[in-house]
Amino acid sequence: MRHTLAALIALSLTVPAFAQTQPTPPANPWHSKGRALFSDIIAIPSVTDRTEEVKRLTAYLKARFEAGGITDVIVKDHDGTQSMIVRWPAEVKGKGKKAAKPAQKPILLLGHMDVVEALPADWSRDPFKLIEEDGYLYGRGTVDMKNGIAAITNALLWLKAEGFKPKRDIVVFFSGDEETGGNGALRAATEWRSLVDAEYALNADAGGGAFLKNGMLLGFGMQTSEKMYQDFTFTARNPGGHSSRPRPDNAIYELSAALKKLEAHRFTPAFTETTRAYLQFRQKQEQGPLGDAMRRWLANKDDAAAADIIEADQSEIGTTRTRCVATRLEGGHANNALPQLARATVNCRILPGGTAEAVQAELQSAVGDGVKIEPIQRARPSPPSPLRTDVTKAFTDAVQKRHPGAAIVPQMSQGATDGLFFRSEGLPVYGVNGTWIVIPDDERAHGKDERIPVKSFYDTLDHWHDMVKALAG
**Parent domain of 289:** 270-312
* pLDDT per position as a tens digit, 172-190: 999 999 999 899 999 999 9
Q: Is there a contact between 236 and 250 (Cβ–Cβ < 8 Å)?
A: no
Q: Is residue 10 included in any domain, yes or no?
A: no
CATH number of the domain within which 213 lies: 3.40.630.10
344: CATH:
3.30.70.360
Residue 439 lies in a domain: yes
Phi, psi (deg, nearest 5) at residue 242: -80, 140
120 and 239 together in one domain: no
pLDDT (0 to 100) of residue 102: 83
CA separation for the pair 458, 18 (Å, rounded): 11
CB 352 within 8 A of CB 382: yes
Query: What single-letter DSSP state applies at residue 7?
Result: -
Q: CA 255, CA 213: separation in Å to the nearest integer?
A: 44
Q: Which of 380, 396, 429 is the last residue of a domain?
A: 380
DSSP state of 298: H
Enter the pTM of the model.
0.87
Question: Which regions of the chain are under pLDDT 70?
Answer: 1-24, 94, 96-99
336 shares a domain with 221: no
d(CA 188, CA 300): 41
Check residue 94 and give its pLDDT.
Answer: 66
Report how far residue 206's alpha carbon sits from residue 294's, in angstroms, rounded to the nearest whole number: 24
**Is 1 contained in some domain?**
no
Q: How many domains does the chain have?
A: 3
The verdict on 37 and 168 lying in the same domain is: yes
User: Is the CB of residue 5 less than 8 Å from the CB of residue 211?
Assistant: no
* Contact status, residue 207 vs residue 408, Cβ threshold 8 Å: no
Sequence letter at residue 1: M
CB-CB neighbours of 365 under 10 Å: 11
The reply to whether 186 and 285 lie within a common domain is no
Does residue 130 sit in the same domain as residue 252?
no
Between helix 304-312 and helix 289-299 the angle, nearest 10°, is 140
